[in-house]
Every structure is written in C-alpha cells, then in structure tokens.
Chain A
Amino acid sequence: MGNLLGSFNARNVNLNMDDKPTFDPQEGFSYERKPREMIAKEEDLISARIPPKYRDYCAHHLLEYQVCRYKNVPLMYKCAHEKHAYLNCEHQDYVMRMKEFERERRLRVRENRLIGVA
C-alpha cells in the first residue's frame, strides 16, 4: 500500500508505526544474519557535538559530512558527495526498518494461523 496507509492493515495484528520487533532476529532464516556495526566512535560523536538522535548506524557518514563542511566553509557544494553518501545510508536504514516491519507483520500473521490450526 501507499506510505500513509502502510500500517493500516497491520492493525489487524496490533502492529503500528515505530513499534519494536518482538520475535527472535534469527527466526526463519536459513543463514546467520550479519549484525549491523557501528563505525563511528561515541567519543568522536560527542566531540563533534552530534545530537543523540543522529547517533545511529549512519553517524560516521554524518561525521564525515560535518568535518567536510567545517573544512570547506563557505564552499559547501564541495561536500555534495559526503552528503549524498550520508543520505543514501539513511535511506538504506529506512528500508531496513520497513523490511523489519514487514517481517514482524508476517511472523505475527503466521503465529495467528498456527494458533488457529492448533
């Protein structure tokens, strides 16, 4: 469905936007999932005064972007590549969240079906 009504039918399994996944992350996978790694160090983020809400898995791109801005001010256009990399990373992060949502929804539907059969 579209973006606005994306979680509308998920309410049938009591799943809403910004809920946390409840199943075991490895459940249903034939392989072992690759864990996400945090590249930026917390001390660097604190030193660069990145706000806590931006200290996600893309923070190292943000840090690079901000460093580039600091070095190139006022010629911000020189940081276009860094900005692009950061925004791409955020986009991939969002896609991953959407995948997690869909996985959660399907697992809940499956669980309901199994309970109904049993």
Chain B
Amino acid sequence: MALSLVKKAILANPHSLRKNVGVFCNAARNHWNYQYKPGPYPKTMAERQAAAKKYGLSIEEYQPYPEEMGYGDYPKLPDIGADSKDPHYPYDLPYLKRNFNEPFHVASEIIGEDRFNISVKHRIPLWQQWTWFLGVMFGSYMLYRYLDDYKIGRPVVAKQYPQEGPHYMFCPK
C-alpha cells in the first residue's frame, strides 16, 4: 500500500518529489535549511516594505528586532502565548491556534500551549499576591513583637523538688 503510494508519487511528479526529499534530508542532517534563514536587516524603507510583504504583514505592523540581536529581518510579533489566544476562533490550524501563512513568533516553540504562556493574566495580580504575602508575614511578626510584652501564664511558682533547698508549708510547726 505505502509502496504503491510512493511509486505513484514518483511517477506523478518526479521533480517535486526530488526537491522535497532534498529539503527533508537537509533538515534532518543540519536541523535547518536555507529557507528558514531570515534575510539581512532592512535599513531602507523599500527593504522594510519588501520584508513586510515577505512575511505577509502590512508595513504598519511590521517591526524588525534590533540589528544586534541577529534576527535579521524577522518580524517582531506581539508576545501572545497560545494559551491566551481565543479558543473559539475558527483557526485554520486549531491545534496550534494559528492561521494559514500567519508568521511564527520567534519564541513560538516555548510560548506554545504545551510550555509557557508569556502573556498569562493571573486571576489575582502579582503585586496583590506579594502584598498579601508580605502583609501576612510582617503583620504576624509585628503582632508577635507587640504581644511579646503581654505574656500570660498560670499563677504558680516553679515546681518544688526536695533537692532544691527547704520548702515550707503555710501552717505552724
């Protein structure tokens, strides 16, 4: 079955098959191919426009990373984790919450649904969490410091043991 499919593919479109095999072999051997590599950093307006067109963005939303970061003309996309995207939108690729031809974020590997949500919105903001934590800790400590002067106990002296000197009763001899 599989062999007949391969045979059919070879006979139907030999040129495309040879190209694809080349690309996949190269990717497996070198982990990337020349098509993954971004172009040089765009310096002029025309270059920016060309880069924006290349990545399927409008010139307004296209913004490259700083040149020293070495990402070339790769666009700087907003930091939105896959978990923060609308789950009910009819994506072309619902598994990745991504549309066809939509450019990948540079860190898309790590901000996917399986790793880390870079734009997570907590139910309780982080400053409130810190305020509560430090408030409870320092509040308890201040309470302890304050109540340290108001120790209470039962109204008894130390227990009397015969080896600790003579003790006396409250009656005459």
Q: Which of B36-44, B93-101, B148-156 lies at the interface?
A: B148-156
A77 within 8 A of B: no
Q: In the complex, are the beta carbons of A18 and B161 less than 8 A apart?
A: no
CA distance A31 to B170 in the complex (A): 10
Q: In the complex, are the beta carbons of A25 and B168 less than 8 A apart?
A: yes
- Chain A residues in 8 Å Cβ range of B29: none
In the assembled complex, how far is the CB of residue A55 from the closest CB belonging to chain B, in whole angstroms?
Answer: 7
- Chain B residues in 8 Å Cβ range of A56: 159-162
Interface residue total, chain B, C-beta cutoff 8 A: 21
Q: Kindly identify, within residues 89 to 126 of chain B, every residue whose CB is under 8 Å from any CB belonging to chain A.
A: none
Q: Which of A5-13, A68-76, A78-86, A110-118 lies at the interface?
A: A5-13
In the assembled complex, how far is the CB of residue A94 from the closest CB belonging to chain B, in whole angstroms?
Answer: 7
B171 within 8 A of A: yes
Q: In the complex, are the beta carbons of A97 and B173 less than 8 A apart?
A: no
Q: In the complex, are the beta carbons of A7 and B172 less than 8 A apart?
A: no
CA distance A94 to B166 in the complex (A): 17
Residue among B157, B158, B170, B171 facing the most chain A CB atoms (10 A cut-off): B157
CA distance A33 to B168 in the complex (A): 6
A102 within 8 A of B: yes
CA distance A34 to B173 in the complex (A): 4
Residue among B150, B154, B155, B160 facing the most chain A CB atoms (10 A cut-off): B155
Out of B150, B158, B169, name the residue touching A35 (CB < 8 Å).
B169
B167 within 8 A of A: yes
Q: In the complex, are the beta carbons of B152 and A32 less than 8 A apart?
A: no
CA distance A15 to B100 in the complex (A): 82
Q: In the complex, are the beta carbons of A31 and B162 less than 8 A apart?
A: no
In the assembled complex, how far is the CB of residue A111 from the closest CB belonging to chain B, in whole angstroms?
Answer: 17
CA distance A85 to B173 in the complex (A): 23
Listed by A's residue number, 25 A-B pairs whose Cβ atoms lie within 8 Å are A3-B155, A4-B152, A5-B152, A6-B153, A6-B154, A16-B153, A17-B156, A18-B156, A20-B157, A25-B167, A33-B169, A33-B172, A34-B169, A35-B169, A36-B168, A38-B162, A55-B161, A93-B159, A93-B160, A94-B156, A96-B169, A97-B159, A100-B156, A104-B157, A105-B155
Interface residues of A (CB under 8 A from B): 1, 3-8, 10-11, 16-21, 25-26, 31-36, 38, 55-57, 93-94, 96-102, 104-105
Interface residues of B (CB under 8 A from A): 150-162, 166-173
